[in-house]
């Protein structure tokens, strides 16, 4: 567990907290960036800017080396088997769209794709579009009254027609950790591929893709202290090898004639065009930052914050917390009787507290639970118990104002 002093030292590495009194509890949307990441990006543009995989001058070689260094580091971070299994995209959204597009030929009429009821729109719409285009069925794993996946129903949904299951590691609405291992085992018995949307798990839970045995694992750098606009797609080599190019252009070919193109192998085949080089360099530094701490320790610390938050908020009259079970991590969603979540979010904002309000890009689950929205607080490594106390006091002041 981190000591108070350790958290203070970590927090000092985030310039956004230096000169302003803000409480940032919107980490599920995006995390703040440490000096290392910001400085590396500035230094890159100021000293080394150039394109990758094209120009053989020293600047070009520097950028290309940085890109491949980041790829190697991501391979180690995820415990992937091969470096070619790491593909750079623009974010989780693009990664899922890439897999959906490349899976087009995997599906035939009346095949099934399975998602859960709790997915982010990014992990719903690409499958909806694909299943409509292929005349396939999109099946949905329901959740129980605690927001957890109903695995008994999953066992009934999955058949030999199931080609792919796409599921979040941690839900972005309620922070529930899904039971992936059992799900992946069941899916593989039916020869179905499994894609894990790791957006809310990355930098909060230890990820070992070989141990999980998932076929794909996707996430965005901006949710793990890195810059926006950079996504990471892990896919098993033997599956990605069979994928057709998802977009076509420079950097992904062996030979082009006006009649025919011979494509490069992995990873370049799936990375057409100039990538987000500064984003990749920033991601490398975010991994360095994370490498200073153990993810297990981060998880324990964030769990402590969450437990503390649940405990103090539970005493408030008229509060409904979604949920309080043991499968939660770093996200707390709630509502208060007689006050609109959006209005409360605005009042908290007046106290310098940043929370997220609304449906959190997950309308299907919110509609199912008959919720117009919730207030969501989400933690990261730099948040503190003191901030949670200030949050509680500010919340009470907001409620006093509403109840005048
Ligand atoms: N999936 C989940 C679970 C998310 O929480 C998010 C973003 O909040 C996304 C996908 C989309 O991520 P991005 O906007 O970085 O592509």
For ligand 1, is residue 118 a contact (CB within 6 Å)? no
Stretches where the chain sits below pLDDT 70 are: 404
Atom of ligand 1 nearest to the CA of 360: 8
The residue whose CA is least distant from atom 14 of ligand 1 is 93
Supply the angle between the helices 92-102 and 125-134 in degrees, to the nearest 10. 10
Say how far apart CA 74 and CA 357 lie, in whole Å. Answer: 32
Supply the angle between the helices 277-291 and 35-43 in degrees, to the nearest 10. 150
For ligand 1, is residue 166 a contact (CB within 6 Å)? no
Supply the angle between the helices 295-314 and 385-402 in degrees, to the nearest 10. 30
Q: What is the pLDDT of residue 171?
A: 97
Q: What is the pLDDT of residue 86?
A: 98
Longest pairwise C-alpha distance within the chain: 75
Does the global pTM surpass 0.75?
Answer: yes
Closest CA to 334 of 354, 309, 351: 309
Q: For residue 392, what is the enclosing H or E element?
A: helix 385-402
Question: Is 101 considered catalytic here?
Answer: no
Q: What is the pLDDT of residue 54?
A: 87
Compute the 3-state secondary structure of the chain and give helix, strand, coil in percent, each to the nearest 5. Answer: 45, 20, 40
Q: Under a CB-based contact definition with an 8 Å cutoff, are residues 362 and 118 in contact?
A: yes
Q: What is the pLDDT of residue 146?
A: 85
Which one of 101, 102, 214, 361 is the catalytic residue? 361
Q: What is the pLDDT of residue 80?
A: 98
For ligand 1, is residue 378 a contact (CB within 6 Å)? no
Query: Are β-strands 137-141 and 112-116 bridged in parallel, bridged antiparallel, or unpaired?
Result: parallel
- 3 state DSSP class of 59: helix
For ligand 1, is residue 220 a contact (CB within 6 Å)? yes
| Gap from CA of 260 to ligand 1 centroid (Å) | 37
Q: What is the pLDDT of residue 325?
A: 81
Find all residues with CB under 8 Å of 251, minimum gap 6, and list them.
52, 53, 54, 268, 271, 272, 273, 274
Find all residues with CB under 8 Å of 254, minimum gap 6, and list them.
262, 263, 264
b/e map 231-269, b = 16+ CB within 10 Å: bbbbbbbebbeebebbeeeebbbeeeeeeeeebbebbbb
For ligand 1, is residue 119 a contact (CB within 6 Å)? no
Structural domains of the chain in order of their starting residue, each with its CATH number: 4-25+294-402 (3.90.1150.10), 38-291 (3.40.640.10)
| Gap from CA of 120 to ligand 1 centroid (Å) | 7
């Amino acid at each position: 567990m981190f000591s108070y002093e350790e958290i203070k030292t970590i927090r000092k590495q985030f310039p956004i907290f230096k000169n302003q009194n803000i409480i940032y509890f919107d980490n599920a949307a995006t995390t703040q960036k440490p000096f290392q990441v910001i400085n590396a990006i500035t230094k890159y543009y100021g000293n080394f800017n150039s394109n990758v995989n094209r120009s053989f001058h020293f600047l070009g070689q520097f950028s290309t080396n940085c890109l491949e260094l980041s790829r190697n580091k991501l391979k180690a971070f995820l415990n992937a088997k091969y470096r070619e299994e790491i593909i750079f995209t623009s974010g989780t959204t693009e990664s899922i769209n890439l897999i959906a597009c490349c899976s087009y030929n995997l599906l035939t009429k009346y095949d099934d794709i399975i998602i859960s009821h709790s997915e982010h729109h990014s992990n719903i719409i690409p499958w909806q579009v694909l299943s409509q285009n292929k005349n396939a069925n999109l099946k949905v794993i329901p959740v129980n009254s605690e927001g957890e996946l109903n695995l008994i129903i999953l066992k009934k949904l999955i058949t030999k027609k199931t080609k792919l299951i796409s599921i979040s590691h941690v839900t972005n609405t309620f922070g529930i950790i899904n039971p992936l291992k059992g799900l992946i085992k069941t899916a593989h018995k039916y020869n179905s591929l499994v894609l894990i949307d790791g957006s809310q798990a990355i930098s909060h839970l230890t990820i070992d893709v070989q141990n999980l045995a998932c076929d794909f694992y996707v996430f965005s750098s901006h949710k793990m202290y890195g810059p926006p606009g950079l996504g990471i797609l892990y896919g098993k080599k033997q599956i990605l090898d069979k994928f057709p190019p998802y977009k076509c252009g420079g950097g992904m070919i062996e030979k082009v004639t006006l009649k025919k193109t011979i494509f490069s192998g992995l990873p370049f085949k799936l990375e057409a065009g100039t990538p987000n080089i500064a984003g990749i360099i920033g991601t490398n530094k975010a991994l360095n930052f994370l490498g200073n701490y153990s993810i297990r320790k981060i998880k324990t610390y964030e769990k402590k914050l969450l437990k503390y938050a649940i405990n103090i908020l539970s005493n408030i009259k008229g509060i409904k917390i979604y949920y309080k079970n043991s499968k939660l991590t770093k996200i707390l969603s709630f509502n208060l009787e007689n006050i609109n979540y959006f209005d409360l979010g605005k009042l908290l904002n007046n106290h310098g507290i940043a929370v997220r309000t609304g449906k959190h890009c997950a309308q299907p689950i919110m509609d199912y639970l008959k919720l117009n929205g919730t207030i969501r607080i989400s933690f990261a490594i730099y948040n503190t118990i003191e901030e949670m106390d200030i949050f509680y006091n500010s919340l009470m002041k907001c409620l006093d104002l509403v109840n005048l």
